[in-house]
Amino acid sequence: MTPFLDLGFARVDTHRELRQGAPEAILAEGKTPEEVEAIARALLEGDAGSVLVTRADEAARAALRRVAPDAEEDARARLAWIARRVPAARGLVTIVSGGTSDAPVVMEARVRAELLGTRVVVHADAGVAGIHRLAPALEDLRRADCVVVVAGQDAALASVVGGLVAAPVIGVPTSTGYGAALSGMTALLSMLVSCAAGVAVVNIDDGFGAGTIAARIARAAGSGE
């Protein structure tokens, strides 16, 4: 049996969940709503535990609602998803963000991680310009199996957090800010040269990627309670 479903315009990797513990997701940008719908159906028919559509405008989210009445969505984060068989949660991912504007990326990371079967705690708007605002997050940072830092502009939060915790830290630069923020490139570069060791980085605004690797790390490290 072939380990993918050939739709002509797409070859849906229905064995990815089996192979890697995480089902293929659908990046809606660049796809027609009809394509989103067809791929989502194929994934469900391929017995995916969940289906997640990212960077989904209203038309793409509507496409997913046509696939399943139990589709959930978050318009601001441009997400839609169907949760069928989410694994029992193992491990803890703590997400901290630098500012209010990072909320959509935080949500994308959170939903992805939860669909893969881990617990997620979020501390929003803890940027270092008022470093005392990080205090309430300290306990959740220390007990986390993996920490995700979502921050734009200078992304200094990644270094500060990276210097405090013993868990692996995944940085997600965001495209907030203007001018020399360079649509997130400055935050990306900044996180990559963080003076704290033990920080690894995903693409700008890539909450999905961060959620994926964070869930893997946390599930392997964490207990199931």
- 52-111: which residues touch a second copy (CB under 8 A)? 55, 76, 98-101, 103
| Residue placing its CB nearer to a second copy in the complex, 56 or 201 | 201
Q: How far is the CB of 186 from a second copy (least distance, A)?
A: 4
Q: How far is the CB of 51 from a second copy (least distance, A)?
A: 14
| Residue placing its CB nearer to a second copy in the complex, 64 or 69 | 64
| Residue placing its CB nearer to a second copy in the complex, 86 or 129 | 129
| Residue 73 main-chain phi, psi, to 5 deg | -160, 165
Q: How far apart are the first and last CA of the chain?
A: 37
**Residue owning tokens 């002509």:** 8
List 25, 63, 89, 92, residue binding a second copy (CB under 8 A): 25
Q: How far is the CB of 69 from a second copy (least distance, A)?
A: 25
Site for a second copy in 124-143 (CB under 8 A): 124-133, 136
How many C-beta neighbours within 10 Å does residue 8 have? 6
Cβ-based neighbours of 34, under 8 Å, separated by 6 or more: 63
Could you tell me which of 183, 188, 134, 187 has the C-alpha nearest to residue 163? 134
Q: How far is the CB of 62 from a second copy (least distance, A)?
A: 18
**Residue owning tokens 């935080």:** 106
| Residue placing its CB nearer to a second copy in the complex, 70 or 75 | 75
Q: How far is the CB of 48 from a second copy (least distance, A)?
A: 14
| Residue placing its CB nearer to a second copy in the complex, 82 or 213 | 213
- Where are the alpha helices (H) located in 91-131, listed in sequence order? 103-115
List, in sequence order, every beta strand (DSSP E) within the chain.
5-6, 11-12, 26-27, 50-54, 72-74, 79-83, 92-97, 119-123, 146-151, 169-173, 199-201
Site for a second copy in 164-223 (CB under 8 A): 164-170, 173, 175-186, 188-206, 208-210, 212-213, 216-217, 220-221
Number of alpha carbons in the 13 Å side-chain half-sphere of residue 70:
7
- Using CB under 8 A as the binding rule, whether residue 48 contacts a second copy is answered as no
Spatial separation of the C-alpha atoms in residues 80 and 77, rounded to whole Å: 9
Q: How far is the CB of 188 from a second copy (least distance, A)?
A: 7
| Residue placing its CB nearer to a second copy in the complex, 70 or 141 | 141
- Using CB under 8 A as the binding rule, whether residue 121 contacts a second copy is answered as no
